[in-house]
Each structure stands twice: as structure tokens, then as C-alpha cells.
Amino acid sequence: MSSLAAADIPFYKCMEQHGLTLGYGDDGAPHVEDKENPVFGEAQKACAPLEPSRAPVRATTEELAAARRASACMREHGVSWYPDPDPVTGEVLYQEPGGTAEQWQTLRRDHRDAIRACSPRPQGQ
């Protein structure tokens, strides 16, 4: 069993005690089988203090550069408040100071052209 899976055991045992069915991946890591179960939300809330924190996945140099280009492109296309990506993960965090909750909610509706122009596309498309 991996050390990550060992660190997860108390959390997943708690989830099981709250009525959820567990499964195990090829690496032995546990996972919840029935996330559609009505007790899932309650179990997750009750067991949250036992869930181990995860280290952020570091973006590659290329991924980070692409994310920075996409953010700059969004600003060039009129979304002046669009934030730079996280310097470690390359993710854009959907929270202030990079825009208000209202701005994020209306982004797709109000800035479709910018999203289309700035979204990274797979090679050859």
C-alpha cells in the first residue's frame, strides 16, 4: 500500500462508518464507490478533519507559460480583471482579488469571444 493510501485510511474508514462503500485502486488506494449515495455529503462533512491535505501538482514550464499567455489574452480581449495563474499550479483561482464573484458568474455569458480566442487548443485544431 502506498504511503498516500496509508495516510488516507482514517478518512476512508470514517466514510465507511457513515454508510459509504469503499473500493480500492490497483495501487491499493481507497476511494468511495457510491458518491451518489444520499449520505455522501454528510459523511464528507463529518470526515473532513481526517482527510489528509494534498500537495499541489506543480505545472510544467510549458503549462505555466501557456496559462500565463491565456490570462494575458483574456485581458487583451477586454476582461481587464482576469488574474494571472497560480505560479505553482498554473491554475486560475476563481476568487477575489482576481475578479468578483459576480464577474466570475457572468464570465462565460459576457466574454464568450475572449474565452474562445484564449482557450488553449490541442495541437492541430
Mean per-residue pLDDT, 48-60: 86
Identify which of 46, 39, 47, 48 has the alpha carbon closest to the alpha carbon of residue 20: 39
Per-residue pLDDT, 1: 44
Clarify whether residues 73 and 37 are in a common domain: no
- Do 34 and 68 lie in a common domain? no
pLDDT tier at 122, thresholds 50, 70, 90: low
Longest CA pairwise span in the chain (Å) = 52
Residue 85 maps to a domain: yes
pLDDT of residue 67: 94
Query: Which pairs count as long-range contacts for 33-37, CB under 8 Å and 24+ apart, including other chains?
Result: none
Flag whether 125 is in a domain. no
70 and 34, same domain (yes or no):
no
The more confident residue out of 20 and 9 is 20
Task: Show the domain range for 43.
Answer: 3-50
Residue 55 lies in a domain: no
Confidence of residue 93 (pLDDT cuts 50, 70, 90): confident
Residue 124, in any domain of the structure = no
